[in-house]
Structure 1
Amino acid sequence: MLLKNVPYRQPGLFGLIHSNRDFTQKEAWGKNCFNSSFPASLCSYLYSLNLENVYIKLNSNLKVEHSSISTENFYGIDPNSDNLFYAFETQFTPYQQYLIGNLPGVDLVTQARDSGSCLQPIEIKLTALPDNTTCEFAEDYYGCEIVVRPDTIVYLACSIVENFRLNPSTIAGAFTEKLVNITDWTEAISVIPLIPDMIDCIDAIALSLIDVQKPFLMQPIWKTEGKSPRLVDNCLDVFVWSNLAFTRLFIDLAKIEINTYGRIRNIARHTRTIIWLFKMLSDFSINGYFNHGRIIDSLSYNTKNDKAFAVSGRVTHAYMTSAALRQPRITKQDIKRIILGGGQNLLSPERRFDAIIFNSPDIFD
């Protein structure tokens, strides 16, 4: 069955035939739903056009590089398959075995309908291009802000330790004696001097997994005319970060600080994220599991846990710069082929992208 040939007389999204959201109902188009369901549909739409997602991976020099990944390989199943189920804001239950306490939900889990098996956990960040820090730049230097939840770091750790699930002790060699013997993780003064060693440890683990890195986070972009609310003609595309490439967003910031000042001066959000990830990996290497809730709650270092970290478009541009960032491949007129059956009329214009579509009826003429 070709999804692009399915007629829509009711509100819906391209390709999302089976999901835990009822798109005929207004609540499925609210601000907390649209930012994950629309990207999932956009990925399926790319596949229907024989286009692949831009894949941001890590290479053996610990630098990011771009390739491409099909939505089929990303989702773990053909997006045209009637066997695909989109489970939004759901636990990826295979990861529960690595945790003490309840596994948090992830934005999207693709599932096989016939077996009920979980195929792929996907974090989703629908991001505006440009952001507030790059909107005054020349178009070639536009970038997107990414804000990351603590739960995303839990899934990042799980995606890494999964490679060692049969023998957790195999990663123990990456942890030096002085790191294993930290006595008080809650005191910044005890931890700060060891952050460079934590970075080296995470890098060593990443290098050992280069050939088995996996897609982790979907980052669709929507591009406007500078900071105006008007979409440009070529306005949509999808970037996919591998789990290892994603670590560069916070590790590289710490490396810049070390190279500039010779040390880590204090625990900012991105350095705290390094500590969280390191502690999760370290505990797993010893116990075969980690207590994510305890790690995040106890290692706050006087900073709120509402988010793990955020990076501005000035930072992300270097990782994402590409033809797709300069001129996204999906046009404004394609939106009416993604949002179907009058679904735009059910949007609650509380977020910028929702509001732009809601206030752009000409797209659907």
Structure 2
Amino acid sequence: MVEPKISAISPPQPSRVEPKLWQYCAGHSVKIPKLHSKVYYFPQGHLEHACLNFPNTETLSLLDGHRPFNPCIVSAVDYLADPHTDEVFVKLLLTPITDGCVHEPPAEVREDEPKGDEFVSSGKTLTLSDANNGGAFSVPRSCATSIFPQLDLETKQPSQELSVTDIHGKIWEFRHVYRGTPLRHLITTNWSKFVDEKKLVCGDSVIFMKKKNSFGDIFVGIRRHTKFGAAKITKESVMEAVELANKNIAFEVEYHPTVEGFCDFVVDAKVVEDAMKINWNCGMKIKFSLKNEDSSKRWSVFKGTISALSAPNRPWRMLEVFIYKLDHLLYYMQYFCFINIITIEVDINMIFHNLMMRGSLN
């Protein structure tokens, strides 16, 4: 008897996302290198990006014998969304610069900024009630007025049907009502199915978006409170990229802006080169911003003093900084890459605004 053939079911693939929708889902603090731009790739930052905890000495030893950074050209940028979590990420194809020259692409193929329409957005962090798959979603007033079509609040039971497209192109049919005590905007019909399918929990965020000055399509994206992106990047894939970079062969990296302790390990060349011109020294006063993971304020500004420096040819975490924030009575030591810092003693307008260490402090 001939055994029936069982066809393998291929796993779902990431969805390509319109760049401006991607940006709203990632957040405006996330900056992706431009196509054809010159950047620096930092292998240690890439390795940290792939580790749920800070890489140990044994893991860091994998980088022994490799260059601490590589100048590259961004040859391709793919804006993607994870098929299981809806988290957005990018794949960057980086081509090492071998002759010290940056070859400008022809004007007709150069892409300095993502093209397309402007969008407006409104987001909300889900409450316990919002994430209860037997309940409704309490819509922020700003979302109801700037994203959704206007409701006629003079009618007895104001309501409307909404067709909302998720990041993968699936259309959700929601019902938007204005009711309750006190009166408030709610999404009712199909919200429970949305919560269940997306596996939303309290602390996750939803972002509703639409084209500016448009009454057309509405889109919805998700930012996860618990980040999953790093678990999909292996040390082996990082080392494959590092080996290729060391051989001056084009390589691909994944860049997850929502990963815990997110590190910008691919950095605009001007930012790095400007930072290299600064005469960093012990005792220099600096300031920087850190993203808050457990506070209603998104960013906190810290000040500190450089207490020690490592070898200048290894800029990743070369600065040991004594950090202080008087209103929180916070004092501790931390290591940074010099491109994260605004100096107080040196007046410059350069800042690497996605701090490599943000969110990773204990």
TM class, shorter-chain normalised? under 0.3
Q: TM-score, normalised by structure 1?
A: 0.27
User: Where is the strand percentage greater, Structure 1 or Structure 2?
Assistant: 2
User: Where is the helix percentage greater, Structure 1 or Structure 2?
Assistant: 1
- Greater RCO between the two (CA within 8 Å, min separation 6)? 1
Q: TM-score, normalised by structure 2?
A: 0.27
